[in-house]
Amino acid sequence: MSIVFLITIADNIENKALHDIRRHEYMYCLSRFFSYNFLVYGVISESTSYAPASFFPFTNILYIPSTYDLGYHTKSQKEFISLKKVINNIDLPDNTWIIKASGRYMLTNDIFVEYVKNASEHTNAILKKVGDQMCTFLYAIRLSTFKKIIEYEIPPFENIERYFLNIIKTILTDNEIQYVECLGTFVNINNEEQFAYY
């Protein structure tokens, strides 16, 4: 069984203060992801180059500049569109686990990686559900299932956290989905200074 990280990074080139804050967040958090010695794929939006990426040995990294026309989608939907492009460029066995993570949120322990390492052969998705939505900043899906997910098109302004969960539940049976209570990650969603441990 192989495991790879797929890390999403969003630069903010319009706000110098936020750009600097995020740069530090990415540096700290990426060092944690790379400590596992898994292959690491990345996608950077809003930029054609970003300093944190140059410090780490990404297996492959896709840059999506702000000039790229992603239509009238929300920020989360733009991320989903970006993931489509990355998944199509991952040439690994279909049973490979893809751990998708936001590059800004620190893994504080190994609990989620251990879930993936110890998953049964019948499990195809590992995620945390909150109400009728899922946490899209950290989840794991086998590559074969991810390829099916990206065949979907997300309607404009759809809630990505709810829609993504519904796609997974459409593709997989309940026995193929492992719901977890703890992700072991520390987040500051949208830089709103509302820190939380998931």
The residue extents of the domains of the chain are: 3-197
pLDDT band for position 43 (cuts 50, 70, 90): confident
Q: What is the pLDDT of residue 177?
A: 98
Q: What is the pLDDT of residue 39?
A: 95
The topology (CATH level 3) of 3-197 is Spore Coat Polysaccharide Biosynthesis Protein SpsA; Chain A (3.90.550)
Per DSSP, what are the bridge partners of residue 62? Answer: 43
Q: Please return the burial class of 49, using the count of CB atoms within 10 Å of its CB with bins 0-12, 13-18 and 19+.
A: exposed
Q: What is the pTM of this model?
A: 0.91
144: DSSP letter? H
Question: What mean pLDDT comes out for the span 71-79?
Answer: 65
Residues 104, 145, 135: CA angle, nearest 5 degrees: 35
